[in-house]
Structure 1
């Protein structure tokens, strides 16, 4: 176990990828933002290394007693550093912690996270009696009970969602305050009614035991179906004995109030196109787990809304982008929370992007002086190996069934299945599947990690959630906010159960082979079979460095140094998009292309051809 301040961020195998980045940011945030020490911070904490996971596993999936003692000692040291006490019943806000899993390789959403650890009935009552905001205290407690039930007691989120529906509650963060006590009672009853074979039933009130249970629950999530499927889907497969580290970090609260607190996710570039434009999804008075898990029942706001409503926070995020990108030398994905108008960075990791986005963004970073051509080429070469399917250029014989907002730009085919359960049944039988999500606000995350689930479409969804991030990583077509082309709703609710609308044109294609295309943002049907090609063959023409070296040797460039080749190739990159657009126009035999434009393009091209 090691506190953030004393950990070595180079020890990714011990700290996990998430923990190593947190440690690096915690140790350097004052240096990177020396002019904004009161405006940007990383919450303090400590890490249980992957060695603890092995001790836990070898001890029959239980933490040894001496490890629990050490955890409580580290917690006491964190109390001294933060000035708050775990289990404080004085009425002040106590030390409350988040417990997150993080393996040495990034597996977004696959390992458990539990927030608000350190609350019980007594502490909540004392905080309310001391005059703390009632909505803040009760909503935080509601989240604590729900997440404990999900991660520690393995209760599906759907059960909690059904409770919310029965109580007739509205948007996230806007529940009537008088209903929050009812929700706490209902959640507690749900936990009591679902005993776990390893843990005492219900929500644990003893705080040291609560913390121990949570850590064991997150450790156990390493062998849960979502994490196992995620490991199997990675190439090469992530070994089961790698284990996960555990991050114990002091909580900051984005649900404090409507005007000074918020949470969100920030992509420093567009994950689909690579454009240098911020992608920010956020909401006021909410905790960040709902955004990244895709379970939020509230309309997310975007970058422009943040710039208008919280211009100081927006500018600080852009500053964080500039300085963190220069440090990491690549685009980033950051989770953040704002409490009392102070920005807290909760997580930073490399942004998962499509291949085209990787190429565009890395060359932009070269232009901006944040990286060099050698590093850019290495990252692009890695992305080159990312398998991506697209529709063949000449393919036009299809029927559009639905349209949505594309998160990726790849394409694939499979049997259309309604609901995760049916999709996984077909996938386990060996069928390729396109999944139409049955329920909004979260089903099991196993589906996106299953190699036979070839694409996902949903009537809700967000860009920055774990499922969307994983779809980009696996190059799976992923559409959100999907609507039928005949304007019929795809899903209708009867007796609180979501069903496919039989009047929708899409209903007749469940069980049939369909395709999803992320370039056009469509779900379609065709009788044709050979409609896909591997984008890698298109990529080779302009990023396969070894191939280029062979060709240059044949035609007279063998005397150039490797760096000169890269510089030359970079110039080609700047022209490539223009050439591709001209090629599409010529293939369509468009008559309006100016002759002088073609001559200029050809003249530029000829300057690269050996004499």
Structure 2
């Protein structure tokens, strides 16, 4: 028979999945002999059964609760309706993972019109008794009956102003009785029913309300934000009340064993005299620093300090402790691993290793790889965010960081304003390669279209620039230069603030504070490299990006996107000459000029990467991306190139494709125009030879052919490219080590990986296109519906942000297994942006891949994730 209820003495810290974090920790503290008010926990499984059973508590569950309630009465010597030894209860939520403030709590349960008088008589304190009752009425009304708390709060504030009372604790017994009377009237007016006078009726109603709060809006939002499953449920903890509001020798507070902002090893917290727990959280009264408790109640402080040290050592982590003092007697109501800033997290991890509380492996496992973003990008000041007006919260957090600046709607204006010293934010429906000039100078980039792997997202991440993409509720009119959002309209030059970590946009300037690397970060990164089996490379081609990745000690470059090299004006015009050429001679002439540019490009890359392995992807995008599409631009380009407008328009029409992502791109370009790839490999090899001859620098290019789906494509192109490379090395009498491989980004390529392996020296999975092709989603348009899929549970995750293990992951697994059978030692990596996602990295590590590659600013995130994965696999 399923056990639904556990007394605190029956549980332990390892039972968080069943008892929730709060229940498991209450049980653990009870086991340690700490002063925890007695009680019992109803399991998370019971919650999910309740929610999936038309929200009905079964008779078995009700009987089990009744039994534990009776046992609690026997242990405490108190009873719900005993006028001399009255038992009052708290009913609190508690899921496996801490979700502070997201679910509901009811305190002082068991009071009614009769019991409040008994409590006043026994304690000889009417003010205390009626203060407890008015709190119960408000919390129960809000949590159980769904009465908006503002009805109670507004009356309380009105009453205090009317009677010139500043603090709740200054209300007299008679005044509290009047407030209680009004609160009960609110029940009748709004719910058309009275507050229940039966304590057991109150208890069961509160339990059901707490279970139901698992699905309230704020809890759902919090779970999505923190990647917590909807299937876990919340436990309910029923606990004897202790009263911090029972006079000047009582109080309540929250304390951390270390400073959660800085990580300093010093007790940090606040408390209130003559108050209950929600008073501290609500901020109605200004709390006192915990250090002042040392003077006010020295014995209690000493006891609390010792207990906090005991708990930190026991849990081997910084603790967040809730406590209550009742007439100078200390009670612990909760402990949990304390939430902290990234700076604090890294300091605490390193300090605890040095203090002998953790091993290096345990310290790494305690850190969230995503928190690295906070260390490397500016962030908004939390206090400033509280008063900022939101524009939108539906955008995709495409590139982390925070920025503020003036709205610009095109790259030219952004560049112009930046040159005169203005901070600008480029706001567009979507970006294209020709916007790069404006993107480079922008503090942030915002688009209404596109996803996490869109042009704006990929380029922004590579530059370390804050970006919010796919913000679909914005109407961006680039012609009249306005942004329409749900609450208003913004014009060019208006200031906005962008949070690329969360995807939020704000009106006006929000204060920023810098987050910089520190000694603790460097130490953790060194440990991460020690425990990571996977190599971490960077996706980069610009010198500044490569230098950033080198600073984070990337093991090489996993993806040089050569198409990014063609969009400078002097290169773009030659590429257009190649595309528009009417014969082979004209094409070769254009390519010869481009060859010179490419040699310079690759020499710069090889010098900057200092001899580390470099994967260079040959040209991938459709040719139409290199030509204009608007009439005005076509006329301008025709004039610049000295060709007829009609001819250029005709050629543009010829290049137009209905579905360019499935069109004439990647290796298909090289099949029809082999001279294009031959030119590129010549540039790669000649640049390597020049460096070897001039400075004895060894270069290790790994040349990657994209979008291969058939063995014939790869073998044919390999033969042509290899022959040309050998010809160059023979003519130069100089040998350069190189490899030729392919990018696996089509489902068919995964299924024939064993065949492709015969003609390849390495594979690299392009997870962006592989995800797009597997789902049949356009990665640039999926933002229009993917949020709805996520909200309705159609998709558990956004597959462009975290690997779809069951679909795309299964294809990758098949490809790896087939490849290893053909070539056991063949190098296999990942160069899509999922190579920087911690969840995806663990999957890649389990498959035995050799490396992951991601944008430079995600390299440390990937190192930490790879280290955590390596440690977990070792511990299995």
TM-score scaled by length of structure 2: 0.45
The reply to whether residue 317 of structure 1 matches residue 304 of structure 2 is yes
The reply to whether residue 246 of structure 1 matches residue 250 of structure 2 is no
Paired residue secondary structure (2:330): strand
Q: Which has the higher contact order (CA 8 A, sep 6+)?
A: 1
Structure 1: distance between partners of 2:350 and 2:38: 35
Cα distance change, pair 15–368 in 1 and its aligned pair in 2 (3 A): same
Contact 1:414 1:513 in 2 (8 A): no
Cα deviation digits, residues 381-410 of structure 1 (max 9, x gap): x234325346868xxxxxxxxxxxxxxxx4
Q: Offset of 1:248 from its aligned partner?
A: 0.7
The reply to whether residue 189 of structure 1 matches residue 185 of structure 2 is yes
Contact 1:388 1:534 in 2 (8 A): no
Cα deviation digits, residues 195-233 of structure 1 (max 9, x gap): 2xxxx8332111111111000111110011111111111
Contact 1:389 1:412 in 2 (8 A): no
Structure 2: distance between partners of 1:257 and 1:415: 36
Structure 1: distance between partners of 2:397 and 2:155: 35
Match of 2:333 among 346, 354, 357: 346
The reply to whether residue 107 of structure 1 matches residue 99 of structure 2 is yes
Q: Offset of 1:352 from its aligned partner?
A: 0.8
The reply to whether residue 73 of structure 1 matches residue 67 of structure 2 is yes
Q: Offset of 1:344 from its aligned partner?
A: 0.6
Structure 1: distance between partners of 2:66 and 2:124: 27
Paired residue secondary structure (2:168): coil
Cα distance change, pair 320–550 in 1 and its aligned pair in 2 (3 A): closer
Contact 2:253 2:322 in 1 (8 A): yes
Structure 1: distance between partners of 2:149 and 2:27: 31
Equivalence for 1:162: 154
Q: Trace 1:143-162 onto structure 2 (pairs within 5 A).
A: 143-162=135-154
The reply to whether residue 52 of structure 1 matches residue 46 of structure 2 is yes
Match of 1:171 among 167, 170, 176: 167
5+ long unaligned stretches in structure 2: 403-493, 501-505, 536-876
Cα distance change, pair 85–360 in 1 and its aligned pair in 2 (3 A): same
Q: Trace 1:286-435 onto structure 2 (pairs within 5 A).
A: 286-291=275-280, 294-379=281-366, 382-386=367-371, 388-389=373-374, 410-411=379-380, 423=390, 426-427=392-393
Equivalence for 2:270: 281
Equivalence for 2:57: 63
Cα distance change, pair 65–312 in 1 and its aligned pair in 2 (3 A): same
Structure 1: distance between partners of 2:132 and 2:180: 10
The reply to whether residue 24 of structure 1 matches residue 28 of structure 2 is yes
Paired residue secondary structure (1:271): coil
Equivalence for 1:543: 524
Contact 1:265 1:333 in 2 (8 A): yes
Equivalence for 2:205: 213
Structure 2: distance between partners of 1:222 and 1:255: 29
Cα deviation digits, residues 214-269 of structure 1 (max 9, x gap): 001111100111111111111xx3222211111111111111111x2110001111
Contact 2:342 2:375 in 1 (8 A): no
Paired residue secondary structure (2:393): helix
The reply to whether residue 12 of structure 1 matches residue 16 of structure 2 is yes
Contact 1:98 1:113 in 2 (8 A): yes
Cα distance change, pair 414–247 in 1 and its aligned pair in 2 (3 A): closer
Q: Offset of 1:282 from its aligned partner?
A: 0.6
Match of 1:266 among 255, 270, 293: 255
Contact 2:254 2:322 in 1 (8 A): yes
Q: Offset of 1:280 from its aligned partner?
A: 1.9
Structure 2: distance between partners of 1:515 and 1:545: 32
The reply to whether residue 95 of structure 1 matches residue 77 of structure 2 is no
Equivalence for 2:80: 86
5+ long unaligned stretches in structure 1: 30-39, 394-409, 435-510, 518-522, 555-611
Q: Offset of 1:378 from its aligned partner?
A: 2.9
Q: Trace 1:416-495 onto structure 2 (pairs within 5 A).
A: 423=390, 426-427=392-393
Contact 2:360 2:527 in 1 (8 A): no
Paired residue secondary structure (1:239): coil
TM-score scaled by length of structure 1: 0.64
Aligned-residue Cα RMSD (Å) equals 3.7
Equivalence for 2:131: 139
Paired residue secondary structure (1:179): helix
Aligned length: 430
Cα distance change, pair 373–189 in 1 and its aligned pair in 2 (3 A): same
Structure 1: distance between partners of 2:277 and 2:89: 14
Cα distance change, pair 25–174 in 1 and its aligned pair in 2 (3 A): same
Structure 1: distance between partners of 2:534 and 2:201: 67
Q: Name the stretch that deviates more: 210-219 or 321-330.
A: 321-330
Contact 1:283 1:300 in 2 (8 A): yes
Q: Offset of 1:4 from its aligned partner?
A: 0.9
Give the greater-gyration-radius structure (CA).
2
Paired residue secondary structure (2:169): coil
Cα deviation digits, residues 326-367 of structure 1 (max 9, x gap): 111111100000112111110000011112212222333334
Equivalence for 1:513: 496
